[in-house]
Structure 1
Amino acid sequence: MEFSAICFPPYGQSPLQTSLRELTTLGMKNAENLAIPSVRNDAAFLFTVVGTTGFLGVLAGQLPGDWGFFVPYLIGSISLVVLAVGSTSPGLLQAAIGGFSSFFPDYQERITSHEAAHFLVAYLIGLPILGYSLDIGKEHVNLIDERLEKLIYSGQLDTKELDRLAVVAMAGLAAEGLKYDKVVGQSADLFTLQRFINRSKPQLSKEQQQNLTRWAVLFAGSLLKNNKVIHDALISAMSKKATVLECIEAIEKAS
């Protein structure tokens, strides 16, 4: 399979001036909301905690004597503890939300499709892949490129390399946007992209950052749409916990 035809335009040229209409035409559902962090999992978790503790508190209020006072009080404090943990140790709360989110029927499917998109797009544009994980709360695809790593840490990413990394970063978001009405895994992708932008020179204006984000979603989405069979094969391989080498073999066989 030949990938040399995948070219990136210099930053500032017309391909980066991407409109929402272009994203919609590609097949992105609710393109205007792609970059808005989803609160579906957070809201569902907090609603469940508050609703459950409230219901149990009402039942406990029927207990005789002092038990009818102290038990509802203790149950009601659970919601306050959850909020306190979220404000002091947000990582712990996110881990709990991640575990709770696994009860959504589409959650594992979303994770696999999302990470497979990062993996496939990185492979297509020639970035080497070190590993990946689909574990809840630890979902990621690790790339390995010493030259890029040095540029990132030194804050010297040029526009060409920023374009490549932006496309990989937005691949998971693009995969969800092509398949689902609402994207729920974009927060980490947007954070990663912002990290790359902050490490680039020259610095981009807010308008340029928005254009770059939209263009990267469009480019990644185009690659995924044009290689849907390969993406599906990779999803199947990753869902079976295939090694990186086995994933690459699945890509090459499907091509």
Structure 2
Amino acid sequence: MWRELAAKRTFISSSVLQELRLNKIEAEKFLAPEDTTLDKVRTTLQVAALAGLMAASFGLHWKVDQVIAILGGTAFLLVADQVANMGGVEALVVDTAARFVDKDYANRVALHEAGHFLTAYLVGLLPRDYCLSSLDAFRRYRVLNVQAGCKFCDGAFQREVASGKLKASSLERFACVALAGVATEYMYFGRAEGGIADVQQLDGLMRALGFSQKKADGEVRWAVLNTVELLRRHRAVHGRLADAMYRGEPVAECVRIIEDGLKDCEDV
């Protein structure tokens, strides 16, 4: 399947806008993710914290200077988190709370990451690990400001990037994998909430490579079209993979699910 898409590369580049319309893909919704779920949870937590503070101040008969001191201390901690961790502690709290407030949130994240995982495998990039929550990322890697993600065996790609000489085929693979998460959400929900970091990373890479805006747009449109085509073709496998990742199955089991699902496919 990937070889077929690569062979069609020149044709698709010249008519990609028409192809996107024929496939009913609205690039504006695809490439402008807005994480409304986390925004709502963040607002809810802020309101709850303020209400709790007010209730405590009345119940415990705090003086005005005590309330101001608590507000000032809280503001200081938030600013310190932004400076030291780029808001990582806040992101961890909000992401964890979202899983209790919105039961669909965890499922959306699993679908999103399964999109990255499956697309990487289909284009020849072997996944080696994944996590589906900020808390999981912190426990396993001691890192903050990571909502979820997949890791791949991409040493060759990283060496190409470091050398500044990136093959066209490598860029095409990277673009498809980077956009697979937002592609998944677009397919299932009609719009993407997560994935803004993926889009920004791809945009940053193309800027670093010196791409003009026109050339970058062409690469992104090609990746959008073909990533959606890959995921639509293997939607059943993707669903089973997302379920497995949601359960926390090891990478080897996730790969087995993909391979079993591809056995009956005439065109992988």
The C-alpha deviation readout for 1:182-204, integer Å capped at 9, x for no partner, is 3121122113313432454xx21
The C-alpha deviation readout for 1:137-187, integer Å capped at 9, x for no partner, is 352222214322210122211323211110111011100111114312112
Query: What is the aligned-residue RMSD (CA, Å)?
Result: 2.9
- In terms of fraction of residues, the more helix-rich structure is 2
The 5 A counterparts of 1:1-255 are 4-7=3-6, 9=8, 14-15=12-13, 18-19=16-17, 22-23=19-20, 25-26=22-23, 28=25, 31-63=27-59, 67-77=62-72, 80-81=75-76, 83-85=78-80, 87-88=82-83, 89-90=85-86, 91-103=88-100, 104-136=102-134, 137=146, 139-200=148-209, 203-255=210-262
CA contact (8 A) 1:34 1:186 kept: no
Change (3 A) 1:16 1:81: farther
Deviation at 1:221, TM superposition (A): 0.9
Change (3 A) 1:196 1:15: same
Change (3 A) 1:64 1:161: closer
- Say which is worse superposed, 93-102 or 111-120, in terms of deviation: 93-102
Aligned identity (percent) is 25
Change (3 A) 1:204 1:32: same
Unaligned runs of 5+ in 1: none
Amino acid at match of 1:84: V
Change (3 A) 1:24 1:9: closer
TM-score normalised by structure 1 residue count: 0.82
Give the number of equivalent residue pairs.
248
Deviation at 1:85, TM superposition (A): 3.6
Amino acid at match of 1:249: R
The C-alpha deviation readout for 1:65-87, integer Å capped at 9, x for no partner, is 6x242453345446624641453
Q: What is the rounded CA distance, in whole Å, between the counterparts of 2:63 and 2:32 in structure 1? A: 44
TM-score normalised by structure 2 residue count: 0.78
Deviation at 1:93, TM superposition (A): 2.8
Structure 1 stretches of 4+ with a deviation exceeding 4 A read 8-11, 21-25
Q: What is the rounded CA distance, in whole Å, between the counterparts of 1:232 and 1:219 in structure 2? A: 19
Amino acid at match of 1:164: R
The C-alpha deviation readout for 1:188-245, integer Å capped at 9, x for no partner, is 2113313432454xx2112322332232122111100011111112112222322222
Which residue of 1 is the match for residue 140 of structure 2? none
CA contact (8 A) 2:95 2:133 kept: no
Deviation at 1:129, TM superposition (A): 2.2
